[in-house]
Structure 1
Amino acid sequence: MAKAQERHEEAVKLRREFPRGKPPAEALAGVQDDAIATFTATGKWPADYAKRAAKAHADALVWESAALALRRLEDATKAAAEDLRDSLSPDVLTHLDGRLTEILDAARDAGETLGDVTTAEQAIEAGGDVLDAWRRLTSLLKDYRNVRDAQWDVLRAVSGMDERSRVVLWRDAGHGEVKDVRVEDIPPHIRSVMQSRAYTIEYLVWVARSGSAFVPASFDDLEFSVTAATEPTAYDDHGPIRDMSPVVLPEREYKPLNTRRDPRPYVD
């Protein structure tokens, strides 16, 4: 894939460096304009017009044939690189995911040695194994950044125009780093690093310990991860969830019936 991209870049360079010229019709029209201007000014038609016109047209044909060939070369190498990239992108992303696992396994071990140390000054002061672990994590941090950069390059490259803009939005929101973790459950200072991609050793150790880091296998895989991290864990397809449990009403207070009889005699 790298070789195909390299060939495309070489073709682009060749076309851009090719000298500017004129199409045959435009070159011939230029000679005609000169002849007409000469005749208008002097009343004489240039004796060498035919020779000049033929040469201008022939030279322009040579230039145009080379320019068209270079344009086709650029288009062909671009298509070849894109086809190869699209066909190999799942393998590339799988490779990156495996490489990420290796980096985080090493970072997890070094993080255990590091303990509560979070700065270079603390590591220098501690010295010994702690300082060695800090140096190891510094190297792993560069590897981690390279994997993430490659991940986003591939995901953007294999996506359409609309999908590409969504990939960028998701990346800038901090998605695509860990899966099966809701946004609200990520510590704010860690989420801030995800969004800025200004990776730190503290962040690298956190990701390694989380056990949730991944490289999306495709655009669809990334989209699924974003949905799982942002949508509610439970919802009612038919609308707002309602409490259908029986309503318990307070007991009614019954007053005794008034059974007092009218003292007046009954008169028929």
Structure 2
Amino acid sequence: MRETSNPLLREAWATVPEVAKAQERYEAAVKLRRGFAPGKTPAEALTAVRDAAIATFQETGKWSSTFARDAAKAHAEALVWEAESIALWRLEESTKMTAEFLRNSLSADALEHLGGRLEEILDTAKAAGEALGGVTTAEQAIEAGADALDAWRRLTSLLKDYRNVRAAQWDVLRAVTGEDERARMRMWRAQGHGEIKGVRVDDIPAHIVDGMRSGTYDAEFLVWVAQSGTGYVPTSYDDLEAEVMAATEPVAYDDHGPLIDISPRVVPIREPRPAQTYAHSRTPHLDASQPTPAKTKANAAYPDREPSTTDYL
């Protein structure tokens, strides 16, 4: 089971009933296994009975008359213990796999909850930002008075929740993607993607992009995101990829320069050139049962060919 100290991530998974139930079953299985009394395997039990009998013989010179019965009893009890021990281990693994499967298949529900929590954080941050009146540091908030100071305190307390939302977001997305997708997400996060939607990274102030890249947020960062209305939590890897593509690819493609008007245009019909007939031309006589076609009248002269070397020999 994925252990986490992030309270918002635990809260997000708790809102998904199937995952919450699976988590409860897993924790109960872990408790059963850990509470199961330690014991011996059948081989260990037989070894213990054998060693005890040998030690007694060496001390007294007498072989135990109940050795076979004692060995059979110890072996049977060990078999029962081992069977339950193995069953409890497999129960824990089974409930763990079930919980992990549900977390992966229902990750969108957890991300959707994180998106709702982000909206609450940003709504509060927006109101606090308006109360600041342009204050950007703690010193300025102290000088500005009680209202600005209270707003500054609210913002600084919201920063922890904002960090937890972002950490939970990336934790969920990493868990449900393969190694190649995780590598792309690391690259996208380093470029400043995954927190702002509908805005090209080039159009975001540099200090805001730096905050997203490094994960170091301050009050000014939080106010900007809240007032821009562009903060979001991707609901899946595909959602994140689509937003990255929209924020980085050009709006239109132009591989051949400016657009050219290719609409139809009316042009005058050209006069057809009459067929050229030469003195040696003959109309094909295709049907022997018909009279021979009359000789055509020449209307063009065949140009002389260029002289070659053989003409002078």
Match of 2:47 among 30, 43, 64: 30
Work out whether 1:134 is the aligned partner of 2:152: yes
Work out whether 1:194 is the aligned partner of 2:205: no
TM superposition shift of 1:120: 1.2
Cα shift readout 1:162-219 (whole Å, capped 9, x = no counterpart): 5455545544554311123333333332222112222211110111122221111112
For 1:128 and 1:161, the matched residues in 2 are separated by 50
RMSD: 3.6
Work out whether 1:65 is the aligned partner of 2:83: yes
Asked whether the equivalents of residues 114 and 169 of structure 2 are also in contact (C-alpha less than 8 Å), the reply is yes
Work out whether 1:103 is the aligned partner of 2:127: no
Aligned to 2:302: none
Cα shift readout 1:3-44 (whole Å, capped 9, x = no counterpart): 4324323423543564555543x3366358748987xx9998
For 1:27 and 1:142, the matched residues in 2 are separated by 53
Q: How has the CA–CA distance of structure 1 residues 14 and 170 changed in structure 2, closer, same or farther, with 3 Å as cutoff? A: farther
Aligned to 1:177: 195
Letter in 1 for 2:196: V
Letter in 2 for 1:85: R
Q: How has the CA–CA distance of structure 1 residues 4 and 244 changed in structure 2, closer, same or farther, with 3 Å as cutoff? A: closer
TM superposition shift of 1:227: 2.9
Secondary structure at 2:238's aligned position in 1?
A: helix
Asked whether the equivalents of residues 35 and 45 of structure 1 are also in contact (C-alpha less than 8 Å), the reply is no
Match of 1:148 among 141, 166, 169: 166
Asked whether the equivalents of residues 211 and 221 of structure 2 are also in contact (C-alpha less than 8 Å), the reply is yes
Q: How has the CA–CA distance of structure 1 residues 110 and 12 changed in structure 2, closer, same or farther, with 3 Å as cutoff? A: same
Aligned to 1:252: none
Between 1:117-126 and 1:180-189, the stretch displaced more is 180-189
Q: How has the CA–CA distance of structure 1 residues 161 and 59 changed in structure 2, closer, same or farther, with 3 Å as cutoff? A: farther
Q: How has the CA–CA distance of structure 1 residues 152 and 14 changed in structure 2, closer, same or farther, with 3 Å as cutoff? A: farther
Secondary structure at 1:180's aligned position in 2?
A: coil
TM-score normalised by L of structure 2: 0.62
Between 1:118-127 and 1:47-56, the stretch displaced more is 47-56
Secondary structure at 2:158's aligned position in 1?
A: helix
Letter in 1 for 2:206: P
Letter in 2 for 1:62: V
Asked whether the equivalents of residues 53 and 67 of structure 2 are also in contact (C-alpha less than 8 Å), the reply is no
Gaps of 5+ in 1: 247-268
Letter in 2 for 1:139: S
Between 1:157-166 and 1:102-111, the stretch displaced more is 157-166
Cα shift readout 1:204-239 (whole Å, capped 9, x = no counterpart): 011112222111111211122233334455556xxx
For 2:259 and 2:122, the matched residues in 1 are separated by 48
Cα shift readout 1:59-93 (whole Å, capped 9, x = no counterpart): 32122122122123213322442344345433332
Match of 1:208 among 210, 223, 226: 226
Aligned to 1:255: none
TM superposition shift of 1:107: 1.6
Aligned to 2:177: 159
Letter in 2 for 1:227: M
For 2:50 and 2:252, the matched residues in 1 are separated by 78
TM-score normalised by L of structure 1: 0.71
Letter in 1 for 2:26: H
For 2:182 and 2:81, the matched residues in 1 are separated by 38
Q: Percent identity?
A: 63
Letter in 2 for 1:183: V
Secondary structure at 2:217's aligned position in 1?
A: coil
Q: Quick check: which one's helix share is greater? A: 1
Between 1:105-114 and 1:82-91, the stretch displaced more is 82-91
Aligned to 2:108: 90
Secondary structure at 2:134's aligned position in 1?
A: coil
When Rg is computed on C-alpha atoms for both structures, the one with the higher figure is 2
Aligned to 1:11: 29
Secondary structure at 1:213's aligned position in 2?
A: coil
For 1:230 and 1:21, the matched residues in 2 are separated by 62
Aligned 1:213-224 pairs, distance under 5 A: 213-224=231-242
For 1:108 and 1:49, the matched residues in 2 are separated by 81
For 1:73 and 1:109, the matched residues in 2 are separated by 50
Q: How has the CA–CA distance of structure 1 residues 227 and 46 changed in structure 2, closer, same or farther, with 3 Å as cutoff? A: farther
For 2:85 and 2:184, the matched residues in 1 are separated by 37
